Structure 1
Amino acid sequence: MVSVSGEPIQRLGAYMLEGLVARLSASGSSIYKSLRCKEPESAELLSYMNILYEVCPYFKFGYMSANGAIAEAMKNEARVHIIDFQISQGSQWISLIQAFAARPGGPPHIRITGIDDPTSAYARGGGLHIVEKRLSKLAQHFKVPFEFHAAA
């Protein structure tokens, strides 16, 4: 099962399926718009998600657990490239950057590619630039080599 609001692998499958259908139909963006998965319509969704992240410890715990597993798997790597679909505010990567900064032998070079669908109800418009500035500033503070690429 694929879903744009499901687990990461389900979202990846949904986006790949949408791309394949649009490509096979060769009818451009009109078919894409009619076939793409339906998403909630709310301009305030990101604000609500940020508030929920701040008040609910389960999100932070989940992010920290996932980042701990990533840090452990990448403990001997000199470069780490993360591709994040629906990056939102990039909050998940804060604790990972901090963990890599404290890594014995020094931090790896971190590259994050944040992907945002500009036609999505979740789209942040220029928000990816804000995410880039926020994460770059954090990485600079912790002396972690960092680059961010926005794909919309």
Structure 2
Amino acid sequence: MENYDSNMRAAILKVLVSQRLAVLSTVRGEQPYASLMAYAHTPDLETLVVATGTATRKFINLSQQPRVSLLVDTRSNCEADFHAAEALTIIGRAGQVEPNELEMLRSLYLERHPYLVDFLSSPATVLIKVKVHHYLLVNRFQNVMEYHPGNEKDIFS
């Protein structure tokens, strides 16, 4: 099991590091809503960080329903993607960053996206952390692997 976890962590990190954008899916009532987002991740893979304005639909959705998913993929929009691209789905719970975590997560986010410093500095922008419940990695078209990064209990219970 340890070898599987180590291989999964490496495969997940490879996808996360190779991409800068994810599709964040939120929910309002029964209607899903998807947004393209810049993200950063903690080295332990337990947390992802995104930033959004407080007047956005996604922020309103997150405030009412914290369950989210993100999709990060390696496609290049060509036929080879059907066998070569990888898709990483991240299932988690989102919330505003706590004051005691703000500097560390802000630095992590800006290290990856320094060109977003003005956006992140706006009083109308908030940093959101996604506590990861699990990852689903799909590669070779139909090969699905699942990884739970250090979660002691099911955050959806």
Structure having the larger proportion of residues in strand:
2
| TM-score for the superposition, normalised by structure 1 | 0.30
Largest Rg, 1 or 2: 1
| TM-score for the superposition, normalised by structure 2 | 0.29
